[in-house]
Amino acid sequence: MAGQYDVIIIGSGPGGYVSAIRCSQLGLKTLCIEKCGNEGKPILGGTCLNVGCIPSKALLDTSSKLIEMEKLSSHGIDAGEISVDISTMQSRKQAVVKSLTQGVEGLFKLNKVDFLNGKAFIKTKNEIIVETSDGSKDSYTAKNIIVATGSSPIELNGIGDERKNIITSKEALELEEVPANIAIIGAGAIGLEIGSIWNRLGSNVVLLEALNEFLPQADKQISKQSLRILKNQGLDIKLGAKVLNAESFNNKVKVIYSCDSVEHEIIVDKLISAVGRKPFTHSLFAEDLNLEINSEGCVVVDELCCTSIPNIYAIGDVIGGQMLAHKASEEAVMVSENIHKQASSKVDYNLIPSVIYTHPEIAWVGLSEEDASKKGFDLSTGSFPFSINGRALASGDTEGFVKTIVDNKNDKIIGVHILGSNASELLQQAVVAMRMNSSAEDLSRTIFSHPSLSEALHESILSAKGKAIHLNNRKKK
């Protein structure tokens, strides 16, 4: 046996590395195995840090700054001719990624977490075989195993050209020049963020969304106004557009799709598949292990993320649900503390914030008005536009609004939805309030600094209670 551990974690993404650190903090001898690496050394951080969340936000920030520069004339600032060096932009992105992945490695060393590069195979409930880059195999044993292998992009059957012109979101974040024309299959969070990056940098971008509804998981008012704003920015979003075929030719891609039963053809430089992600479980479990996996390929777990085998746990994208880094991290802490038998509350899946990092940002937590109505809540809603918020007007960033949903039965806040600049940060105030079980009255009597974007959250709560100061109230109380 190469080694014996209290806990072995497979995967070093936001679920894997957090669980590894927390387990070690609790005094458990811990090993984290990561299949991605160079020269036998693992590259830590998973999809999020290396090819997903972090690199996309770095590129979004760069492209957003370009748009800001172009708008400076309204502030009386002449920025002159503006250009972007794509190579430098990509180098900066990689520097950000490297800083964070090395940071995880430093945290592992600080917390005495063992880690290695290799492909893991769970042979029995306590034994893992690890194949390293040189082809050698070693056996490791553990009292507990945490599967945090994440997910991989869904690829459309029959569409592909070895990552040249038909690519996934990973390659879309690595382009070294701005394509003249891009088509993206899927107008969810990934498609919208990638589309925003390259649209700002000069590409003509069309998004082909098979669903007839835009962002169906968001509140309808939010999704409706988001669609209008993003289209005005130049994103050509086609709903009910089903891709029938795509073929590469002469360094271009011919895409055929149907919309309203009519076939259309477009020629683009790059076709990007952003139709979602699927749990990664390939060649991970021995067949006779009999670990339960559902029809969607997700590892089946209970409310404590325990699989059908008592000492094997699974967290993050591999168990499905909301495929979000912060969800995986919270599950990681819960599982680690439960393994240690330390009291730990369950993850509250009703309070997981969702964010799409377009500009303006789209963020929400809790129930939409439509979902709350379907569930039979006696509800009140309030909203406040950034167009009459002092701080937003001063900065010239006035698109969007804040919407809050209140349960009239107990005055609890059951949903908050924000479309606007810094929506991801503003939403967190609502998440904290909801987590602390604050009433709408509590938040309405909280003092918000002036001028601030946060005042829009305050006024939306006041609006829901019929007490808005800077807005006409639909009802009086």
- How many angstroms separate the CA atoms of 290 and 313, rounded? 14
* Residue 447 in domain: yes
**Per-residue pLDDT at 221 exceeds 70:** yes
* Domain shared by 85 and 219, yes or no: no
Alpha-carbon distance of 400 to 460, in angstroms, equals 13
Higher-pLDDT residue of 9, 81: 9
Is 386 part of any domain?
yes
The whole-number average pLDDT for the span 356-378 is: 97
Residues 67 and 109 in one domain: yes
Q: What would the pLDDT profile of 403-448 be if each residue is shown by its tens digit?
A: 999 999 999 999 999 999 999 999 999 999 999 999 999 999 999 9
Expressed as residue numbers, the domain containing 422 is 360-464
Same domain? For 338 and 439 the reply is no
Same domain? For 340 and 413 the reply is no
Considering the domain architecture, whether residues 288 and 427 belong to the same structural domain is answered as no
Catalytic residue among 326, 340, 450, 458: 450
| 189 and 332 part of one domain | no
Instruction: Verify that 285 and 414 share a domain, yes or no.
Output: no
pTM: 0.95
Q: What are phi and psi of 214, to 5 degrees?
A: -85, 130
75 is annotated as an active-site residue = no
SS3 146: strand
Q: Enumerate residues 6+ apart whose C-beta is below 8 A from 224.
A: 214
Same domain, yes or no: 12 and 102: yes
Q: What is the pLDDT of residues 116-156, one digit of tens each?
A: 999 999 999 999 999 998 889 999 999 999 999 999 998 87
Total domains in the chain come to 3
Check whether residue 176 and residue 295 sit in a common domain: no
Could you tell me the sign of the dihedral formed by the alpha carbons of 310, 312, 315, 318, in that order?
negative
Spell out the residues 6+ positions from residue 159 whose beta carbon is closer than 8 angstroms to its own: 166, 243, 245, 246, 271, 273
Looking at the fold, whether 285 and 196 belong to one and the same domain comes out as no
For 342-368, b/e burial (b = at least 16 CB within 10 A) is eeeeebeeeebbbbbbbbbbbbbbbbb
Cα–Cα distance for residue pair 132/86, rounded to 1 Å: 35
Q: What is the mean pLDDT of the chain?
A: 94
Assign residue 199 the CATH number of its domain.
Answer: 3.50.50.60
Tens of pLDDT, residue by residue over 186-211, are 999 999 999 999 999 999 999 999 99
18-38, pLDDT tens digit by residue? 999 999 999 999 999 999 998
